[in-house]
A and B are shown apart, each in its own frame.
Chain A
Amino acid sequence: SQTIHQWPATLVQPVGSPLSLECTVEGTSNPNLYWYRQAAGRGLQLLFYSVGIGQISSEVPQNLSASRPQDRQFILSSKKLLLSDSGFYLCAWTRQGTMNTEAFFGQGTRLTVV
């Protein structure tokens, strides 16, 4: 069966510090991978989308970046965090192919920038 791991679950970081959130998927190959941010418990804002290793689409201009060094690993980074980067970050994956299927989400990371 497929599983998705995301860590850490919570993080408190000072303004200007770097960020690295990691997500890994097990039990499948060549998944589509996503990073979403959710502010104030509401809308899911798509940040990055990847269909393969090294292939990253940025959806929203910001000081965040994403990388996919391995097929089932997706990393969200920042060199210098801003207060506005606080939020709930969710990693997700879907199967590739013409028949789209459900998205499976990681447990999420609650980031507080202080």
Chain B
Amino acid sequence: GENVEQHPSTLSVQEGDSAVIKCTYSDSASNYFPWYKQELGKRPQLIIDIRSNVGEKKDQRIAVTLNKTAKHFSLHITETQPEDSAVYFCAASLPYGKLTFGQGTILTVHP
């Protein structure tokens, strides 16, 4: 089955800096890669996703890049704000398949 590795496990940045979280996946047939943000005690919510036919996608301060050859994808957050502090999860999905999550990254943005 699919295996997703996520790094780093914790990330601390100053407000205004950029944050980058990286994930690798094992199954080259995976074709959908979402990113979720989970605030303390709440449910994970989708913040951005990318499909295998696209190399990069951007939504305001958030961008995701995908390298299918290397089987890795990354989340980039620019101009970080304290409210960006949360746990971030990457995930990968095969066609017709289940969603497999990475281990999560605790992002802390210091004012």
Contact = CB atoms under 8 A, between A and B. Distances in A.
Indicate, yes or no, whether A interacts with B. Answer: yes
Interface of A: 32, 34, 36, 41-44, 46, 49, 57, 90, 92, 94, 96-103, 105-108
A46 B98 contact: yes
Interface string B78-102: 0000000001010101011111111
B43 A46 contact: no
Which size class do B's interface residues fall under? 20 to 34
A44 B95 contact: no
B104 A42 contact: yes
A90 B44 contact: yes
Given A41-B40, A43-B103, A43-B104, A102 B96 contact: no
Interface in B43-90: 43-46, 49, 87, 89
Q: Which of A34, A44, A99 has the most CB of B within 10 A?
A: A44
Given A34-B99, A102-B34, A103-B99, 15 more contacts: A42-B106, A43-B89, A43-B104, A44-B44, A46-B99, A94-B93, A96-B96, A99-B32, A100-B31, A100-B95, A101-B32, A103-B34, A103-B44, A103-B46, A108-B42
Contacts of A105: 43-45
A90 B87 contact: no
27 contacts: A32-B98, A34-B98, A34-B99, A36-B101, A42-B87, A42-B103, A43-B89, A43-B102, A43-B103, A46-B98, A46-B99, A57-B98, A90-B44, A94-B99, A99-B32, A100-B32, A100-B93, A100-B97, A102-B34, A102-B46, A102-B49, A103-B36, A103-B44, A103-B46, A103-B91, A105-B43, A106-B43
Q: Which of A41, A98, A100 has the most CB of B within 10 A?
A: A100
Contacts of B104: 42-44
Q: Which 5 A-B pairs have the closest CB atoms?
A: A100-B32, A105-B43, A43-B103, A44-B101, A102-B46
